[in-house]
Amino acid sequence: MKLAMSPTSRTLLLRYGSAPLLVLAALAVRVALDPVLGQHAPRATFYAAVVVAAWYGGLGPALTTLALGFLAVLYFYFWPPHAAAATGAGEIEGVSLAIYLAVGAIIAVLMAAVQSARRQAAQRAAELEQVHCQLRDRLQDLAKAEHRVRAVVDHVVDGIITINARGMIESFNPAAEKIFGYRAEEVVGRNVNLLMPEPDRSRHDGYLGTYLRTGAAKIIGIGREVTGCRKDGAHFPLDLAVSEFRLGQQRAFVGIVRDISARKRAQQGSKFLADASASLAQLVDYESTLKKVTRLAVPFFADWCMVDVLEADGTLRRVAAAHSDGRAIERERGWSDNQLPASQRQHGPAAVLRTGCSEVIPVVTDEILDDLATDEEGLSLLRSLGLRSAMSVPLGTRGKLLGVMTFASAEPGRPYGPEDLALAEDLAYHVAVALESARLYAEVKDADRRKDEFLAMLAHELRNPLAPIRGGLDLLGMEGVDAATVGWARTMMQQQVQHLVRLVDDLLDVSRIMRGKVQIRKERVTLAEVLERGIETARPVIDAQKHQLSVALPKEPVWIEADPVRMAQVVANLLNNAAKYNEKPGHIWVSAENRGGTVTLRVRDDGIGIDKELLPRVFDLFTQADRSVARSQGGLGIGLTLVRSLVELHGGSVEARSGGLGQGSEFLVRLPVLAAPPVPQPAIPSRSATGAPVEPRHRILVVDDNVAAAKILSEIAGRWQHEVQVAYTGESALEMARTYRPDVFLLDIGLPGLSGYEVAQRLRLQPEFARALLVAVTGYGQEEDRRRSREAGFNHHLVKPVSPEALHNVLSAPAIAG
Partner 1 sequence: MTITTEAVKSAATSQRILIVDDDPNVCEVLSKILSLRGYEVDSVYDGPTALELIQHRDYGLALIDYRMPGMDGVELYRRIRELRPSLAGVFVTGFPTIDTVYPAIAVGVERVIAKPAGSNELLEIIQEFVGKPA
Half-sphere exposure of 639 (CA within 13 A, CB side): 26
Of 157-165, 253-261, 308-316, 629-637, the segment contacting partner 1 by CB under 8 A is 629-637
Our CB check for partner 1 shows the closer of 394 and 472 to be 472
Residue from the set 472, 534, 564, 586 that interacts with partner 1 by CB under 8 A: 472
Of 334-342, 551-559, 627-635, 788-796, the segment contacting partner 1 by CB under 8 A is 627-635
CB 464 → partner 1: shortest distance, Å? Answer: 6
* Residue 456 contacts partner 1 per CB under 8 A: yes
Of 75-83, 259-267, 316-324, 488-496, the segment contacting partner 1 by CB under 8 A is 488-496
For 656-680, letters b (16+ CB in 10 Å) and e give bebeeeeebbbbbbbbebbeeeeee
CB 460 → partner 1: shortest distance, Å? Answer: 5
Whether 649 contacts 669, CB under 8 Å: no
* Residue 541 contacts partner 1 per CB under 8 A: no
Residue from the set 136, 470, 741, 771 that interacts with partner 1 by CB under 8 A: 470
Residue from the set 164, 171, 437, 485 that interacts with partner 1 by CB under 8 A: 485
Distance CA 429, CA 799 (A): 59
* Residue 464 contacts partner 1 per CB under 8 A: yes
For 173-199, letters b (16+ CB in 10 Å) and e give bbbbbebbebeeeebeeebbbebbbee
Our CB check for partner 1 shows the closer of 368 and 475 to be 475
* Residue 742 contacts partner 1 per CB under 8 A: no
Our CB check for partner 1 shows the closer of 501 and 551 to be 501
Give just the sign of the alpha carbon dihedral 559, 561, 565, 570.
Answer: negative
Burial class (CB in 10 A: 0-12, 13-18, 19+), 24: middle
Distance CA 283, CA 439 (A): 10
Our CB check for partner 1 shows the closer of 472 and 742 to be 472
Site for partner 1 in 151-210 (CB under 8 A): none
* Residue 460 contacts partner 1 per CB under 8 A: yes
Assign 3-class secondary structure to 428-492: HHHHHHHHHHHHHHHHHHHHHHHHHHHHHHHHHHHHCCHHHHHHHHHHHCCCCCCHHHHHHHHHH
Q: What residues contact residue 360 under an 8 Å CB cut-off, 6+ apart?
A: 390, 391, 416, 417, 418, 420, 421
Our CB check for partner 1 shows the closer of 488 and 740 to be 488
Of 2-10, 36-44, 151-159, 468-476, the segment contacting partner 1 by CB under 8 A is 468-476
Return the DSSP state at 81.
T
335 φ/ψ angles, rounded to the nearest 5 degrees: -90, 100
Residue from the set 141, 474, 735, 791 that interacts with partner 1 by CB under 8 A: 474
Our CB check for partner 1 shows the closer of 126 and 466 to be 466
Q: What residues contact residue 77 under an 8 Å CB cut-off, 6+ apart?
A: 39, 42, 83, 86
Q: From residue 757, how far is each of 520, 654, 761, 777, 807 by CA, in Å?
A: 28, 44, 6, 11, 19
Site for partner 1 in 71-110 (CB under 8 A): none
Of 408-416, 490-498, 538-546, 778-786, the segment contacting partner 1 by CB under 8 A is 490-498
Residue from the set 60, 223, 468, 678 that interacts with partner 1 by CB under 8 A: 468
* Residue 119 contacts partner 1 per CB under 8 A: no
Return the bridge partners of 161, or none.
Answer: 172, 255
**Shortest CA distance to 170 belongs to which of 151, 192, 189, 191?**
189
Distance CA 67, CA 50 (A): 9
Our CB check for partner 1 shows the closer of 478 and 683 to be 478
* Residue 466 contacts partner 1 per CB under 8 A: yes
Our CB check for partner 1 shows the closer of 499 and 644 to be 499
* Residue 481 contacts partner 1 per CB under 8 A: yes
Residue 511's SS3 state is helix
* Residue 480 contacts partner 1 per CB under 8 A: yes
Our CB check for partner 1 shows the closer of 113 and 455 to be 455
CB 455 → partner 1: shortest distance, Å? Answer: 10
Distance CA 648, CA 670 (A): 10
CB 628 → partner 1: shortest distance, Å? Answer: 4
Number of residues that bind partner 1 (CB under 8 A): 27
Residue from the set 282, 380, 494, 632 that interacts with partner 1 by CB under 8 A: 632
Whether 509 contacts 642, CB under 8 Å: yes
Our CB check for partner 1 shows the closer of 471 and 651 to be 471
Burial class (CB in 10 A: 0-12, 13-18, 19+), 371: middle
Q: What is the CA radius of gyration of the chain?
A: 62
Cα–chain center distance at 479: 80
CB 494 → partner 1: shortest distance, Å? Answer: 11
* Residue 451 contacts partner 1 per CB under 8 A: no
Terminal alpha carbon distance of the chain = 178
* Residue 492 contacts partner 1 per CB under 8 A: yes
Of 155-163, 414-422, 461-469, 791-799, the segment contacting partner 1 by CB under 8 A is 461-469
* Residue 114 contacts partner 1 per CB under 8 A: no
Indicate the Cα dihedral angle 162, 165, 166, 169, nearest 10°: -10
Our CB check for partner 1 shows the closer of 119 and 470 to be 470
* Residue 629 contacts partner 1 per CB under 8 A: yes
* Residue 707 contacts partner 1 per CB under 8 A: no
* Residue 452 contacts partner 1 per CB under 8 A: no
* Residue 143 contacts partner 1 per CB under 8 A: no
Distance CA 8, CA 11 (A): 5
The H or E element that residue 37 is part of is helix 7-37
* Residue 475 contacts partner 1 per CB under 8 A: yes
Residue from the set 463, 741, 771, 790 that interacts with partner 1 by CB under 8 A: 463
* Residue 502 contacts partner 1 per CB under 8 A: no
Residue from the set 631, 657, 711, 786 that interacts with partner 1 by CB under 8 A: 631
CB 448 → partner 1: shortest distance, Å? Answer: 17
* Residue 684 contacts partner 1 per CB under 8 A: no
Return the DSSP state at 754.
S
Amino acid at 749: I
Of 82-90, 320-328, 466-474, 594-602, the segment contacting partner 1 by CB under 8 A is 466-474
Our CB check for partner 1 shows the closer of 456 and 817 to be 456
* Residue 699 contacts partner 1 per CB under 8 A: no
CB 624 → partner 1: shortest distance, Å? Answer: 14
Whether 460 contacts 637, CB under 8 Å: no
Of 194-202, 386-394, 474-482, 702-710, the segment contacting partner 1 by CB under 8 A is 474-482
Residue from the set 111, 176, 469, 654 that interacts with partner 1 by CB under 8 A: 469
Residue from the set 92, 357, 459, 817 that interacts with partner 1 by CB under 8 A: 459
CB 466 → partner 1: shortest distance, Å? Answer: 4
Residue from the set 279, 496, 526, 537 that interacts with partner 1 by CB under 8 A: 496
Distance CA 326, CA 319 (A): 17
3-state helix, strand, coil split of the chain in percent (to 5) is: 55, 20, 30
Q: Which long-range contacts (CB under 8 A, 24 or more apart) does 412-416 make?
A: 412/232, 412/233, 412/234, 412/388, 413/181, 413/230, 413/232, 413/233, 413/234, 413/236, 414/234, 414/261, 414/388, 414/389, 415/362, 415/363, 415/388, 415/389, 416/360, 416/361, 416/362, 416/389, 416/390, 416/391
Q: What is the contact surface with partner 1 in residues (CB under 8 A)?
A: 456, 459-460, 463-464, 466-472, 474-475, 478, 480-481, 485, 488-489, 492, 495-496, 628-629, 631-632
